[in-house]
Amino acid sequence: MALKSRRNKPEVREIVQAGHPVLRSQADLVATSRIGTKELNDLIDDMVATMRDAPGVGLAAPQIGLPLQLVVIEDRAAEPEDLDERNRKSVPLTVLINPKIETFGAQDVEFFEGCLSVKGYFAVTPRHERARVTALNEKGDEIVLDWDGWPARILQHECDHLAGKLYVDHMDTHTFSRVEYLIDNDES
């Protein structure tokens, strides 16, 4: 009797921290031949598990040490108190492969922002109000996201990771703060 192939439980990976060279490298394109393979799907599952475990609202592959243009995003901000002046709203689980980003408007929307790879700190970081991303999803279909408000901030933050950038490159340095002095923040 043939054994059914059994899928391993997704693994929560270690999130690398600022100072690791992969966070400062341009990530490589994911070969389209890998899309839909068990190997890539397992990696995506691991990234989702890692993001949820952290918890965070986004994770880019360089954050688990892989220089690949692969991002997962999910924001379960469903409670009314989360739908605040930051224009935060729920974002369903979204996988972005080889994303290309365009931004619109001045880079002048300022809120505290954090990063799972700069753990324990936040700073006011200016972002564009709107971002449009063209990418492939986990099935290899082209998707276009045109988001504003907090989800647009997440897109800008995650696409920065693929270009070797961190929010600290854009932040208002005078606001750089340990989390214990702040409340209600979400890292990505």
Give the residue numbers annotated as catalytic, written as ranges: 158
Beta carbons within 10 angstroms of residue 55's beta carbon: 13
Q: Is 133:99 a contact under the CB 8 Å cutoff?
A: yes
Closest residue to Zn ion using C-beta atoms: 115
95 belongs to the binding site for Zn ion (CB under 5 A): no
Binding segment for Zn ion among 84-92, 109-117, 128-136, 178-186 (CB under 5 A)?
Answer: 109-117
CA 84 vs CA 9, 27, 125, 132, 149: distances in Å: 36, 33, 17, 22, 10
Mark residues 110-149: x for contact with Zn ion by CB under 5 A, - for none. -----x----------------------------------
**Cα–Cα distance measured from residue 178 to residue 188, given in angstroms and rounded to the nearest whole number:** 16
**Cα–Cα distance measured from residue 97 to residue 130, given in angstroms and rounded to the nearest whole number:** 20
Q: Which of residues 168-187 bind Zn ion (CB under 5 A)?
A: none
| 35 vs 115 by CB, closer to Zn ion | 115
In whole angstroms, the minimum distance from the beta carbon of 147 to Zn ion comes to 17
| 115 vs 155 by CB, closer to Zn ion | 115
Beta carbons within 10 angstroms of residue 126's beta carbon: 16
| 40 vs 115 by CB, closer to Zn ion | 115
Number of residues that bind Zn ion (CB under 5 A): 1
| 61 vs 115 by CB, closer to Zn ion | 115
CA 42 vs CA 22, 53, 138, 141, 166: distances in Å: 21, 16, 11, 18, 26
Interface residues toward Zn ion, by CB under 5 A = 115
